[in-house]
Amino acid sequence: MSSYSLRGLRWFEALSAGASQLPGLPASVKAADARLGGKTVRLLAVVADPDNRFPRARNGEVGLLEGWGLAKAVDDAIEADRETSSKRALIAIVDVPSQAYGRREEALGIHQALAGAADSYARARLAGHPVIGLLVGKAMSGAFLAHGYQANRLIALRDPGVMVHAMGKASAARVTLRSVEELEALAASVPPMAYDIDSFASLGLLWETLSVEQIEQPSAADLARVVDCLQQAINAVTGAPRNLSSRLGAPHRAASSHVRQLLSAQW
């Protein structure tokens, strides 16, 4: 049984359509420049590498090599477009089950590696690169913070396997001193605790959700639909603020706006 998801890889392959991959990256980090509606975009994905030198990062987790590898691939795009005003869009294909949990990871500063990735994505966005997150699988916790959550716009495919959360259910139950059943019961009534994509969408954090026919292996129609949506997202970003303010405004996230208004008034 394959213990890891292939969605990220399949969507990367479909969208990159054989474009050559950026060299010098860890095997678990894929990056390639593809043409999308006549424009160059850089696709980025973290994929499972069963031979990863770091055993706790063999199933697609974002670990040390993945964090720094993403940073390098994004920095490369920032550098390549430094002198031009038309910055290529960065498309983070998100299918990340978690960050890597291990002794080597903590000892060598996995927090710093993930900061490296978040830093590069944020700098790219501030420099004017449209950054789009395309959620095709799990988008969990630190892994998502490093890969995707700095995007100007987030797009999620509608599927039970697409989920965003801060921690897996077993660990979340342990940390909050609840049973998994209790946790699930609470998640059903408290939208930010839920694992499904509709609850997540109700928080106002997604720009668009999209249905496809074959999420595991995209069909030609799926690909066309996603490409069209990505182009719309890139267009929506052009000329818009380079911060994350478009995520504010949903009723389930009213306090986030209220706090900012009060802070500004008292500043």
Partner 1 sequence: MTDSAALLNKHSFVELGARQRAKALLDDGTFRELLDPFQRIMSPWLLRQGVVPQSDDGVVIAKGTLDGLPVVIAAIEGAFQGGSLGEVGGAKIAGALELAAEDNRNGIPTRAVLLLETGGVRLQEANLGLAAIAEIHSAIVDLRQYQPVVGVVAGSVGCFGGMSIAAGLCSYLLVTQEARLGLNGPQVIEQEAGLDEYDSRDRPFIWSLTGGEQRFATGLVDRYAADDVPQIRQQVCQLLHLGVPAEHRSGQAELFLQRLARLDTDVQIEPAAVRQLYQGEHP
Span 124-163, contacts to partner 1 by CB under 8 A: 125-126, 141-142, 144-146, 149-150
Q: Is 230 helix (H, G, I), strand (E, B) or coil?
A: helix
* 179 token code pair: 């049973």
**DSSP per position, 22-63:** PSSS-TTEEEEEEEETTEEEEEEEE---TT-SSGGGSSS-B-
Does 240 engage in binding with partner 1 (CB under 8 A)? no
Of positions 59, 231, 244, 246, contacts partner 1 by CB under 8 A:
244
Kindly identify the residues of this chain, within the stretch 20-39, that bind partner 1 according to CB under 8 A.
Answer: 26
Which amino acid does the sequence have at 255?
A: A
Cα distance between residue 77 and residue 94, in whole Å: 19
3-state SS class at 214? coil
Residue reference for tokens 């959700």: 209
3 state SS of 102: coil
3-class SS of residue 81: coil
As a whole number of angstroms, the distance between CA 40 and CA 15 comes to 12
Q: 37 or 249, CB closer to partner 1? A: 249
Q: Supply the minimum distance, in Å, between the C-beta of residue 225 and partner 1.
A: 26
Stretch of residues binding partner 1 (CB under 8 A), selected from 31-39, 85-93, 211-219, 250-258 = 250-258
Could you give the string, one character per residue 47-86, with x where binding to partner 1 holds by CB under 8 A and - elsewhere?
A: ------xxxx-------xx--xx-xx--x-----------
Residues 180-199 that bind partner 1 (CB under 8 A): 186, 189-194, 199
Query: What part of residues 101-120 is at the interface with partner 1 (CB under 8 A)?
Result: 101-116, 118-120
User: What's the min distance (Å) between Cβ of 250 and partner 1?
Assistant: 10
Residue 130 beta carbon to partner 1: minimum distance, rounded to whole angstroms: 15
Min dist CB 122 to partner 1, Å, is 4
